[in-house]
Amino acid sequence: MKEIWDQWDNETKQLFYCNYGDLPHLLSVKVEKYLFRALAQFWNPAYSCFTFGKVDLTPTVEEYTTLLRCPRIQVDKAYSRAASVPPLLKKLMNITCMSEQWVAERIQ
C-alpha cells in the first residue's frame, strides 16, 4: 500500500485526502509489537471492549489515536464510523444465552 501511495502524484494524493481524510497517515504509523499484543490479549469480542480482570474498558477514538501515536486521525472520516448497536433485548440474549421470551419476561 505504501508503495502505491509513493507512486501517486500530488494531485492524486490530494484527491484521496478529499475523499478519505488522513487515512494515508496510518501508512506511517509504527506498530509497537508489545502494545498490539496487549491490546489483542485483553480484547473481549463478546462485549466489544477490553476486559482487565472484572473491569471493562472501551477507549475513545482520541485514546486510541494517542496509544497508536497517530494524532492526526480525524474522527469524522471514512475509517471512523459508529458501530451498529443491537437493541438491549438482543444484547441481553447474547450475554445470558437465554431465549428472547425468557429475557423479555425479566426486563419488564
Q: What's the chain's length in residues? A: 108
Residues near 29 by beta carbon (within 8 Å), at least 6 away in sequence: 68, 69, 70
The pLDDT tens digits for 18-52 are 887 777 777 777 777 887 888 889 888 888 888 98
Q: What is the CA radius of gyration of the chain?
A: 19
67 dihedral zone (left: phi>0; alpha: psi -120 to 50; beta): alpha
- Per residue in 59-80, pLDDT tens? 777 777 777 666 666 656 545 5
pLDDT-derived band at 86 (thresholds 50, 70, 90) equals low
- Amino acid (one-letter) located at 102: W
The count of C-alpha atoms lying within 13 angstroms of the C-alpha of 20, restricted to the half-sphere facing its C-beta, is 11
How does strand 43-44 pair with strand 49-52? antiparallel
* pLDDT at position 90: 77
Which range has the worst mean pLDDT, 1-10, 49-58, 61-70?
61-70
Which sign does the torsion angle of CA 42, 61, 65, 15 carry?
Answer: positive
